[in-house]
Amino acid sequence: MRSALVVFLMTSAVDGQPAGPVRTVDVVNLDRYVGDWYEIARFPNRFQRTCIGDVRASYVKRPDGRIDVINRCRTADGGITEAQGVARIVDARTSAKLKVRFAPAALSFLPFVWGDYWILGLADDYSWAVVGSPDRNYLWILARAPVLPAEPFASALAAARASGFDVEQLVKTNHTATSR
């Protein structure tokens, strides 16, 4: 039994993943969180593979308590692609755990169309946020402006690292003057 524990701990250390769970922030004021965000960096993912820059997200609170989500980005051909979705709060105590769906509403009953959106780090003034998934496969650093200065960016990276994310995987997002 003892040798199995040692092997497990060594494997975790080699993988760079701590044995502990991903942690969210203690509380999110959704009225302050909604609005426009610029993507500063992200883990590469399949659903953003055509995005080459100017990635933005807009969140609008709905009367039913959910949040409308509109993601936009610039594509290689110079066009803009847009995805519209909806988010629902999973943890009402903190509002830091949400599920987001971009599939048609008719498919809402299927659990796999909802993706985890956990707020892992958040500036006191809501100028930047770190969003990820509990499996550590997805990570985004967002800011209210297209450029995040070095010190807040370092704080965002520290928040991601604290939950065991390999920040070396992050790819910075390019923003053109027209996206500002």
pLDDT band at 1 (very low <50, low <70, confident <90, very high): very low
Residue 140 to residues 23, 42, 121, Cα–Cα distance (Å): 15, 4, 10
- Contact (CB, 8 A) for 129 and 28: no
CATH architecture assigned to 26-172: Beta Barrel (2.40)
Neighbours of 56 (CB within 10 A): 20
SS3 label, residue 127: coil
- Over residues 117-130, the pLDDT tens digits come to 999 999 999 999 99
Condensed to tens digits (0 to 9), the pLDDT of residues 46-87 reads 878 888 899 999 999 999 999 999 999 999 898 998 999 999
Domain ranges of the chain: 26-172
Structure pTM?
0.85
What confidence category does residue 112 fall into, taking pLDDT thresholds of 50, 70 and 90? low
Cβ neighbours of 23 (radius 10 Å): 15
**How many residues appear in the chain?**
180
